[in-house]
Structure 1
């Protein structure tokens, strides 16, 4: 019998907090769909609790958070904490937006996020990084 192909990568794209600018999140979501991923977009102004609940309900491989407000130092650790408490340790947490490199390095070093995509990251590189990371996570499960 032939092996069953794995399901497409499922990613939840979220805008957390009061940040009301979602054009970049929508562009990334469209690019990920074009790359064959299943994308769920939560819309604007969601709480970390709502995002984690949606991730559970949608059985996603990754949560992508777009942050332009400067709240990354608060929002991302809160999301990681809620994910860990909800048995979502196998779900990737990635962030994009205006996150200073020193802050991105700190979030990565502490294991808060799995990837940070800053302005200028190509859509193709984002899709490839997510696909590779999900494939690696699935292979180790």
Structure 2
């Protein structure tokens, strides 16, 4: 498989959860992922955790990027992780969180199974390389 085919086989869901209406970062990362050759699905705004789980399972994604700026990450992200576990999709999904997350909360999210937390100003290439190196194969 060529590098281009490998990159195109990475399916990413960029998801907005909860009442957070700030979606500029989600749009920027979705476009950067697309430009990097990933297949990208964008959830749109105001999704419940179970809606994100359903989309991730139905779309059979390798990567779930959760964009959250509302401060509700400690409540909403664990619900998404629990839902993925219920569908046996947790082990096969690279979970990323993007947004403003305090350092103490980053550690807690990682303990729950979030692979990485990317804050504002993270270089796009850093995020793209992280996905290329860590996305599970389908």
Corresponding residue for 2:30? 29
Question: RMSD value over aligned CA atoms?
Answer: 1.5
Matched positions, count: 134
Q: Aligned to 1:14, what secondary structure does the other structure show?
A: strand
- 5 Å-filtered alignment, 1:47-126, equals 47-89=48-90, 90-108=92-110, 110-126=111-127
Asked if structure 2 preserves the Cα contact closer than 8 Å seen for 1:76 and 1:112, the reply is no
CA distance in 1, matches of 2:73, 2:93: 18
Measured after TM superposition, the shift of residue 92 of structure 1 is 1.3
Question: Where do 5+ consecutive residues of structure 2 fail to align?
Answer: none
Residues 69-117 of structure 1 deviation map (CA, whole Å, 9 limit, x = unaligned): 0000011111100000111021111100001111112211x13311110
Structure of higher CA gyration radius: 1
Q: Aligned to 1:65, what secondary structure does the other structure show?
A: strand
CA distance in 1, matches of 2:62, 2:87: 14
TM-score scaled by length of structure 1: 0.89
Asked if structure 2 preserves the Cα contact closer than 8 Å seen for 1:15 and 1:46, the reply is yes
Question: Where do 5+ consecutive residues of structure 1 fail to align?
Answer: none
Measured after TM superposition, the shift of residue 21 of structure 1 is 0.7
Q: Aligned to 1:98, what secondary structure does the other structure show?
A: coil
CA distance in 2, matches of 1:120, 1:85: 34
Corresponding residue for 1:132? 133
TM-score scaled by length of structure 2: 0.91
